[in-house]
Structure 1
């Protein structure tokens, strides 16, 4: 899927809404392994906040996309079922990330035959699991320290040039086709001295997040600048690092950062955040299977019915858990 930056329409009951700005939000599959109130699952997503949701990550292996975690298939279903209440919501699957490195990407793009296998198999995989598009999150082409080769950049161009060459040429890639990346996390570090100004030296092991357990990653932006500059929207990494459970004493609501971003962009479109699912939403896929979680995760926004997902409990282990450091 390629978003062109053109306006698209959503029917909320009797109101015909025109959307200009994209609000792209990442969901990280490994956040289900965070401890306590930091644990985040697809049922925690509030689809009112985003126009596009990206599931991170799938796995690239032998020129094909595979699942990364044991329960990805189940979570793909829950993730994409959010479109039942929000039929204009778009969902994408991301592959890559810091932990993936470059090796598999390098192999995939190095020959025409490998690129063709990737393209055809990817389309089938995305359609099978009801995704609308793909996010290529390669970090980074040509980086030899991550398994890359000098020819990666040109080969990567050949890969993406196959959904999109004439398209980009005809549009000239104006600003309104670009999204500005925003973060809901902070980086921590330990200062070497008492000096706290710009350029202060750091030393020692950075503090780990209480819930994420990742060194230097602490879950907590600004959006009016991108409107004044004429960009087409925001991309947020990531939903689970915002205060989705409203545990910060200063938080007056859930998702304070992503909600603020959404409100600013919606305000620029002269409208407000919808308070409920569209009454006119129609299902475009098969009836969802009976698969979910505990009671506190039922009845989330975005469903035209009360979801019910009983099933075996997923127990994360070191073997099936991959946590990128980016």
Structure 2
């Protein structure tokens, strides 16, 4: 398996050196929007102007081509931290780990992106300055930073591995908003984070695991234990993301689910499974969620 690391820092440099507004906007559309257009068309929020060429970028909170001062400031911070070099090396290492399983996929290259996001858009977001996502239509993933600092930049390699792992797991066990279960979703997230930790150490494990205390974990574990086989996208999101984000997003909170509870529980489930079986996270990628939950004995 190969990694194609997109030089988005060079893309931003091209934007910043283009004085003509119309040409800068066209560059942005060609370099950033066009590759993600199909995914963006699915993710736009209700009420957004369908004729707005930048609607998808606005939905995701990306810095836009007119925000040159913010782009320049964030770009400088990220480049000073060698973010693109770290991301590229992490992407290559993560892709190589799946080389023995290449015959199980209908693609041979993972495509990785880093994008600068707007701090104002994420002003009320609980995430500490960064997030990630995958493309549902292509083997492509993305990391977004809006407040790069000493808290989150050390997690960059883990972010890359986590999102890349989703691309593999989705090909083996396709995600379906109607039929995917809570168990499948927590294992999806827990396996991705375990893969990152296996490659780069526990120091890259995300805040959604490390900032969970025992009381929060017990509360999340109790709720998830009784909902493992529930389905429905909004239902499983309540288990994964917790009450606060459920209220913000307009779906029903469970009552007592901590923020990102499903991520934390999923990580501990997968870690228990790996310890009991001796499998690597890469090997366990091809094991069903029900088997992982059962063999982990986490809920026993």
In which range does the TM-score fall when normalised by the shorter chain?
under 0.3
Q: Which has the higher helix share?
A: 2
TM-score normalised over the length of structure 2: 0.28
Higher RCO (CA < 8 A, seq sep 6+): 1
Q: Which has the higher strand share?
A: 1
Bigger-Rg structure (1/2): 1
